[in-house]
Each structure stands twice: as structure tokens, then as C-alpha cells.
Amino acid sequence: MKALWFLTILGSTAGLGLLALSFTMSGAPQQGAAAAMGAAFAVIPYVLSRAAEAISKGDEPAPTRSAPARPAGKVADPGPGI
């Protein structure tokens, strides 16, 4: 688990360096691509580390609430203007 967090630190450092380097590039497309890659270097290892941590703890996502279903054949009241 600590190895994944170490990779997260390395990815964040590389992402920061790439983001700083993107300010020296000449064109907007190059700057945008470098900034996106820098963000990806930081975000992807973090997400993997969090997922591995959750799996090792046995955490499961909370169930989502959904609206109660309407009985069959019933249509919502369209209102007085229709």
C-alpha cells in the first residue's frame, strides 16, 4: 500500500514539473497538452491508491437512493394549463 502512495508522490512531483514546463512552451496547444498530462500524472496514481486502499479495507460504496416508482398505468398530472 505504501508503494502506491510513493508512486502518487512521484506522479504529483512529475506532474508539477510538467505543469511548470508547460508555461515555457510556445503554442497554446502544446501548453494545454502538457498541462493535461501534468494533471493526469498527479490524478491517476492518486485514484489508484485510493481505490486500492478502499478495496483492502473492504469498504463498499453506499447504496444510492432512487425515487419511488409510480404504479403501472398512472401518469403524472400535467397541470391545469394542458
The per-residue DSSP string of 46-80 comes to HHHHHHHHHHHHT--PPPPP-PPPPPTT------T
Please state the domain count of the chain. 1
Nearest-10 Cα torsion for 51, 56, 57, 62: 40
Which residues span the domain enclosing 17?
A: 2-21+30-57
Whether 74 is covered by a domain: the verdict is: no
Note the pLDDT tens digit of each residue in 30-57.
999 999 999 999 999 999 999 999 888 8
- Whether pLDDT at 82 is above 70: no
Whether 81 is covered by a domain: the verdict is: no
- Predicted confidence at residue 71, as pLDDT, reads 64
On whether the pTM is more than 0.75, the answer is no
- Whether pLDDT at 72 is above 70: no
Note the pLDDT tens digit of each residue in 56-70.
887 666 677 776 666
C-alpha Rg value of the chain to the nearest Å: 23
CA 80: distance to chain centroid? 44
Q: Where residue 13 falls among pLDDT bands split at 50, 70, 90?
A: very high
